[in-house]
Chains A and B, each alone.
Chain A
Amino acid sequence: MEKEKLYQNIRTRQPKHAPPPPGSCHGACCLRGTDLGLRLGDETVFQHVDLHIHCGEIVALIGPNGAGKSSLLKAILGQYPHTGQLDFFLSTGDRAQPVFGYVPQNPVFDRNDPISVLDLFIACIARWPVFLPVPKTLREKVLACLARVHGEKLIDRRVGTLSGGELQRVLLALALEPVPHILILDEPMSGVDIDGMKLLLDMLDEIRRSYDLSILMSTHDFTMLDPYVDKVLLLNDTIQAAGAPREVLNSDAFRTAFHLGKEWRV
């Protein structure tokens, strides 16, 4: 019931459909990376990475520990200087600078920090100094942002006292303001229980449908990939396998990367 309400809320914000002109991604917007590489000091974090993500897709980035998942996400975000070509094309086929939404990995806020969810939002999305009394319109705007993840009740809670799932939703709501072209989540399922994971994935599913944005997330949890995820990228130095979840999870590359026996099947 609650979820129904949430979905309605998201649906009301559907963007107008653009006409599908010719473009490099056959009329859909897309992110295309060619031969991406990253070296930090003397160490090669990843190399020769090609990726192609269409708008409306949920793509999971998997790989063993230290495979460079977080680094690849940060390189895409522009936080690390990478080699290779990274382009974003609008549905018109024009190249553009994409707007990213980013949900960081395991964010830690001190339990005692006097920072409320409202404060965090204001600091991120507004110019209004966070130490002055908050205008009503700004509070309503933050409530509207939180409504996208059904988190209105969290507005006056301190960020340090939120549960893992609650904080995840707050950060997701933050990443959706302004609505990005590409939503990047770093290990969103770590520290979240099965119900929380389902809730999160259902929410992501609705978000990509209503906003027509691409979602790229790294994850350690393979149980939920099918049927939520459209495409899985297996990263270990480079992209070892890419495709539908079952295809990648049953590939030799996957078994090698995770040291599984030859008979291992999903």
Chain B
Amino acid sequence: MEVIYNGLFPLLPFSWAQPDGFLFMKNAFLAILVITPLFGLLSTMVVTNRMSFFSDALGHSAFTGMAIGALAGALAPIPCAIAFAVTFALLFTVARRRARMSSDTVIGVFSSTAVALGIFIATWGGQSFTKFNTLLIGDVLSVAPVEIGLLALLLVVVAILWLLALNRMLLSGVHGALADSRGIPVAVYEGVFSVAIALVVTLSMSWIGLLVINSMLVLPGAAARNLARNMRQYHLFSVLGALTAGIAGVLTSFEIGSSAGATITLYLAVFFALSFLGRKT
């Protein structure tokens, strides 16, 4: 970390980046450099597989996980939240396949139930909801080096998943019957992808904020899709767009004192608007 803090950061033209600058801002900057490519990657599949609403619901379940984690107290809030979110994601995938309802109805049912359960648990016994506000808004300035390390590990895991399974996830998403006929266990890949989203959302919710986290899963891919003509371009534009918006967002939020998560989302919205104007024919 020393090399990054005192070797690389001073190369940036910002006062906070100098050796005597704000450590929290350096950490936040590093966290954004790790989180945004992660969301850029996931976003491509969320958009292609038409799972925007589904990922939103998963975000809500991650909140419930956090509430249960907080109830479990100092024991282990994060592992508890992860366990809940992963279970919920798997249950959800099964329900979506089994139910003979339209997908958005099933998602609506699950999503609202998850949020209600989260608020119910969070406020049980007259507790104040205030302590959960950071989960809703997010505070990337409070990220610690250990947590950045955890996010970096997650980025590596998702990158490996992409190397090993992207082809099958893509085919399962765009044409289940075709994937099935080629011996691909579609349900397994749907489950794996849902779990990946659940993990990433749960672990990054505290920094980005639940209210805007789904935009990070949708906007980079949606904007890249307007421009890209193949999967290479798609991933490149999505990751670069997320990274650029992330850096611009965290710098702006520092200057004007706004929420980083929301500021990044607004930059992503601009990226989407520009991509829409310049969309391919």
Contact = CB atoms under 8 A, between A and B. Distances in A.
Contact of B231 (A100, A116, A127): A116
A123 interface: yes
Contact of B166 (A77, A124, A131, A156): A131
Interface residues of B, number: 28
Contacts of A22: none
A112 B225 contact: yes
B178 A102 contact: yes
A130 B231 contact: yes
Contact of B162 (A102, A115, A131): A131
Contact of B235 (A124, A131, A134): A131
B102 interface: no
A122 B182 CA distance: 13
Interface string B211-223: 0000000000000
Contacts of B48: 113-115
A228 to B, nearest CB: 24
Contacts of B230: 114-116, 118-119, 156, 158
Contacts of A21: none
B98 interface: no
A104 B178 contact: yes
Nearest to A100: B181
Interface stretch (B64-72, B116-124, B168-176, B252-260): B168-176
Instruction: Give the 6 A-B CB pairs with smallest separation, nearest first.
Output: A102-B181, A114-B228, A131-B235, A114-B234, A116-B230, A123-B167
Contacts, number: 83
A19 interface: no
B97 interface: no
B194 interface: no
B229 A114 contact: yes
A174 B174 CA distance: 15
Nearest to A99: B183
B229 to A, nearest CB: 6
25 contacts: A77-B180, A77-B181, A79-B180, A100-B181, A102-B177, A104-B178, A107-B175, A112-B226, A113-B174, A114-B48, A114-B224, A114-B228, A114-B231, A115-B170, A115-B231, A122-B167, A124-B167, A124-B178, A124-B182, A129-B162, A129-B166, A129-B167, A130-B167, A131-B231, A156-B230
How large, as a class, is the contact surface on chain A?
20 to 34
B232 interface: yes
Tell me what chain A mostly uses at the interface: helix, strand, loop, or mixed. Answer: loop
A109 interface: yes
Contacts of A129: 162-164, 166-167
Contacts of A115: 48, 170, 174, 230-231
A132 interface: yes
A126 B167 contact: yes
Contacts of B226: 112
Contacts of A100: 181
A261 interface: no
A123 B170 contact: yes
B113 interface: no
B233 interface: yes
Nearest to B237: A114
A135 interface: no
Contacts of A118: 230
A130 B170 contact: yes
A133 interface: yes
Interface in B58-98: none
Contacts of B224: 114
B177 A79 contact: yes
B167 A127 contact: yes
Given A131-B232, A131-B235, A114 B181 contact: no
Question: Which of B168, B182, B233 gathers the greatest number of chain A CB atoms within 10 Å?
Answer: B182
